Structure 1
């Protein structure tokens, strides 16, 4: 994902105040550990989720709560036409178990 320049503090503030119904919804998919990291040089946001089962927060795009959150975040992130964050799939090239 990509943060617009100058919005680091606002992005953190909004996530520090995540809506309880959104947090509950994400957890209901089996996500039990979710972190987002920021590379301040490039404004790239990198999310990592641990989950039980086959679902993740990425499977919630049709949910009205998620769509409302996307709209809320659209002014500080690069988004698609539906306000979903622009994302790039990454290939795992190393995993230490």
Structure 2
């Protein structure tokens, strides 16, 4: 059974191009981990006016990428991205779950 998770994150102003560049060059081992953990589709959208990122994932099973924070590769990715995003003390991005209110 597949389900969707949506959440928002905050990019530091002025880092839009760098964020996109880093994701164009996403590490193959991170992609493999995400797919192996059941992430079937993962999209991130940027609201340039507010530097807010909106992420949507379709996953097989009960967990999302947000449950992979204990892995070495995800911790390295967080550290890599920490200079351009709002983060928690452990470098994980500050995320706010979003409630689905409509599906067509």
- Relative to the length of structure 2, the TM-score reads 0.89
Which ranges of 4 or more aligned residues in structure 1 deviate by more than 3 Å?
none
| Number of equivalences | 96
RMSD over aligned Cα atoms:
0.7
1:6-85 maps to which residues of 2 (within 5 A)? Answer: 6-85=14-93
Gaps of 5+ in 1: none
Question: What stretches of structure 2 of length at least 5 have no aligned partner?
Answer: 1-8
The structure where strand makes up a greater share of residues is 2
Deviations along 1:8-56, whole A, 9 cap, x unmatched? Answer: 0000000000000000001111111110000000000011111111121
TM-score, normalised via structure 1 length:
0.95
SS at match of 1:12: helix
85-94 or 13-22, which deviates more: 85-94
Relative contact order (alpha carbons < 8 A, sep ≥ 6): 1 or 2 greater? 2
